[in-house]
Amino acid sequence: MTPAQATCLADALKAGHGILALGGPALNAVECTIGLLEQSGLFNAGRGAKRQLDGVQRMDAAIMEGTHLEAGAVASLEGILHPITAARLVMEATDHVLLVGPLASRFTRHFKLDRHRSTGVPRRLSYDRTLAKQKRLTRDWHGTVGAVALDRFGAVAAGASTGGIESMLPGRVGDTPLIGCGVYADNRSGAVSMTGIGEGIIRLVIAKSICDRLAMGKSPTVAARQQLRMLVSRINGSAGALVLSPDGRFAIRHVTPYMAAGWWNGTGLPIVRGEFP
C-alpha cells in the first residue's frame, strides 16, 4: 500500500463515518466511502479500473442494505466514474437487481452520472490469441474497493466496486455484482464485502455464507476465518473480507499476501494497514 493509498483510505473512512455521526443511513456511508475510492484513481475501481484484454475498462459494482434486503448491481459498465452510484440507482429506480453491459451504461447516461473518459486504446485481438494471452498472464491484481457500515438505527449496509482482475477476457464478470457472492447485508446477521479472485468467491457464495455463520452465533472473526479457510482448502482460492455484525463487532481478514483496508469508530485516527493477520 502506497502512502497515497493510505491517506485516501483514511479520508474515505472519515467521510463515511461523518455521515453516520450525523445520523445518516449506513447505505449513504457505504456509497460515499466507495465513491471517494473510485474517484481517486489509486485503486482498481472507477478511474483506476483495470483494463480487459481488449484494452477497455469494464467495471462492476453492487450495494445492499440490510433492513429490507434491497440490492442493486451493475456489470461490464463502461465510461462511468462512480459504478457504486449506478448500482444504487438500479436498486432504487428500478424493480431489478442487476443491469449489465452497454444497456447498463445507457441507463447511467439517462441519470446523467459523472462520466470517465478512458485513456486506453481499444485493441482488436483474435479470439485464439486472446485466449492464449489470458492463460499466460498471472491473476494477482485484486484491489476491489468495498465498505460495510452500521448506523445508529441498527441498519447495516455493504458495497463493492471493481475493475476486475489481471488477464480478463473481454466481458468477464467476477463476484462483485453477484449478490451473496461479493456483497451481502442483512440486519439479522450482518454485512460482508469481499475482494480477491472472484471465480472462487462465486463458487462458494462467500458473502452470504459468512452472514449465515453470523446468524448462527459465530463472531465476525470466526465466520470470516472459517469461510476463507474453506476457500483455500476446497478450491485454492484467494480473497479478503470485511465483516460487520449488527452489534458492532467486526473483522478484516484475508488469505492474500496483503489487503489494504481500515476502520474507524470516530475515536482517534482511522486505523489503516496493509495486512490484517
Active-site residue list: 144
Residues in Cβ contact with 54 at an 8 Å cutoff, skipping those fewer than 6 apart: 122, 123, 124, 125, 130, 170
Q: How far apart are CA 38 and CA 74, in angstroms?
A: 15
CB 18 within 8 A of CB 147: no
Question: What is the rounded radius of gyration, in angstroms, for the C-alpha atoms of the chain?
Answer: 17
